[in-house]
Amino acid sequence: MIPVQGVQGQKIAVLGLGRSGLATARALKAGGAEPLLWDDSAEARAKAEAEGFACTDLMRNGAFDGVAALITSPGIPHLYPQPNKVIARALALGVPVDNDIGLFFRSFATTAWDNFEVAPKVVCVTGSNGKSTTTALIHHILTVAGRPTQMAGNIGRGVLDIDPPQDGEVVVLELSSYQTELARALTPDVAVFTNLSPDHLDRHQGMGGYFAAKRRLFAEGGPDRCIIGVDELEGQFLAGQLAQGREDDRVIRISSGQKLDDFGWSVFARKGFLAEWRRGKQVASIDLREIPGLPGAHNHQNACAAYAATRALGIAPRVIESALLSFAGLPHRSQLVGERGGVRFINDSKATNVDSAAKALQAFPRIRWIVGGMGKDGGIAALQPFLGSVVKAYLIGFSARDFALQIGDTPHEICETMDRAVARAAAEAEPGEVVLLAPAAASFDQYPNFEKRGEDFTAKVRALIG
């Protein structure tokens, strides 16, 4: 646990009692604060009270009397499309609103560091797609390299739930736009921006607000090194804002597809090969084509980001290459579930939007595509240019019939359920083809989250192939 500093004797309200909310309450208590907790769920409140915490309805009169701050969970809207009523009240009363990320950054460094030979560092990863894989890959490389490391944030543990860092340790955090937008303190040593594509637009009032939320990690965080994906205009703009010029190697530009050999420091992948360039010279190269845990151009971008981040931390290219080869990948992200009769079954349930689904569709040559769920704004019409590799689509969920109208002449079948989609795709697949779950939609019509959807696909496949 990371005890929160600077809260001794203060009343601190905590809204939302999920994983991060309870971890925050414990860390506040360890720092000497008096946490006042609330969640609309009676079950969540009961769990908190079982740990000895006081739950207080923050909408009752006088609830914020003497409260120094409100700490809110990331899933609770604080601005758009409209703020949660408790947050709105705190703002009206002038009570500072923060989140666990802000508390972490103001509490991470302690006087214990005075005895360390190497100060601990924090690497933060944000962007639209690839955050989790990049975060896990950085953590994996550091582990292989023998560096003490912990992983937290949007993946793994809550940030305040991790152990106090050791001498020379590196904490790797995956941060969403919800987290970066609200945190009152952001001071990473290395920050990574993977890419940007439309997502969560209701929470940020459009693309401009979404990009602005990501940008805070860099513009206000002031990292020593910035790793910026420049395959979209926003990344190019951000790199240009952060660098003093093209030779400024505090900014490491990364790309999957572009040759970036005219900058102070860059890492890019082309035709399956990763290359590192510094000041006009290539200094390292890695063949990514046969790395099983990193299939496709989108994963090659993740590899570039993780490579750049760990190079910025002083890890040697050969060590990084060895770690890439042993990386198993993450569940629900281009995960190989199994193989039967020359047909591979790939679980990419995390492909919940058009951009991530497009990347999955470009990763394999012949695809039996399981797609559908609760469609997002715009549906999947934008995927038309990427359907050349699709042999047939098997449509599931609430938006199945709408999606069928948006895929043009691509052969398709409306299956509605995962069970039928897996059975039909497996029955029709031929050797050399891939049965790919890449839904391009949210899961909430049939599943509580994308993980449960991916687990259902995995279970159906494994029952089928034995």
In a domain, 226, yes or no: yes
Average pLDDT over residues 147-172: 95
CA-based Rg of the chain, rounded to a whole angstrom? 23
| 3-class SS letters over 63-111 | CCCCEEEEEECCCCCCCCCCCCHHHHHHHHCCCCEECHHHHHHHHCCCH
Instruction: Find the CATH number of the domain harbouring 89.
Output: 3.40.50.720
Q: pLDDT tens digits for 305-335? A: 999 999 999 999 999 999 999 998 888 988 8
Q: pLDDT tens digits for 253-299? A: 999 999 999 999 999 999 999 999 999 999 999 999 988 889 888 89
Lowest mean pLDDT of 199-213, 246-260, 299-313, name the range: 199-213
pLDDT of residue 115: 95
Asked if the model's pLDDT at residue 200 lies above 90, the reply is: no
Mean pLDDT of the chain: 95
3-state class (DSSP) for residue 151: strand
Asked if the model's pLDDT at residue 140 lies above 90, the reply is: yes
By residue range, what is the domain housing residue 342?
A: 335-465
Establish whether 417 is an annotated binding residue.
no
Q: Beta strands 34-38 and 265-270: pairing type?
A: unpaired
Q: Which two tokens stand for residue 159?
A: 């940030």
pLDDT band at 198 (very low <50, low <70, confident <90, very high): confident
3-state class (DSSP) for residue 364: coil
Q: Both 230 and 378 in a single domain?
A: no
Q: Both 172 and 259 in a single domain?
A: yes
Establish whether 131 is an annotated binding residue.
yes
Instruction: Find the CATH number of the domain harbouring 284.
Output: 3.40.1190.10
Nearest to 351 by CA among 369, 366, 328: 369
Q: Both 90 and 127 in a single domain?
A: no
CA angle 424, 425, 429 (to 5 degrees): 120
CB 146 within 8 A of CB 127: no
pLDDT of residue 355: 87
Establish whether 129 is an annotated binding residue.
yes
The overall longest dimension of the chain from CA atoms, in Å, is: 68
Q: Both 129 and 233 in a single domain?
A: yes
Q: Both 316 and 421 in a single domain?
A: no
Q: Single out the residue in 41, 76, 98 at which a domain terminates.
A: 98
pLDDT of residue 19: 86
Establish whether 293 is an annotated binding residue.
no
Task: Give CA–CA dist 95/92, Å, rounded.
Answer: 8
pLDDT band at 217 (very low <50, low <70, confident <90, very high): very high
Average pLDDT over residues 325-352: 92
In a domain, 2, yes or no: no
Q: Both 53 and 200 in a single domain?
A: no
pLDDT of residue 228: 98
The whole-model pTM stands at 0.86
In a domain, 3, yes or no: no
H or E element that contains 20? helix 19-30
pLDDT of residue 424: 98
Cα 82 to Cα 60, 86, 87, 88: the distances in Å are 20, 11, 10, 9
Phi-psi region of 341 (alpha: psi -120 to 50; beta: other; left: phi over 0): left
pLDDT of residue 331: 87
Q: Single out the residue in 291, 326, 361 at which a domain terminates.
A: 326
Task: Give how many domains the chain has, as a whole number.
Answer: 3
pLDDT of residue 329: 82
Size (the chain), residues: 466
pLDDT of residue 183: 97
- State in Å, rounded, how far the first CA of the chain is from the last one: 42
Asked if the model's pLDDT at residue 100 lies above 90, the reply is: yes
pLDDT of residue 79: 94
Fill in the amino acid letter for 226: C
CB 243 within 8 A of CB 208: no
Q: Both 168 and 222 in a single domain?
A: yes
3-state class (DSSP) for residue 413: strand
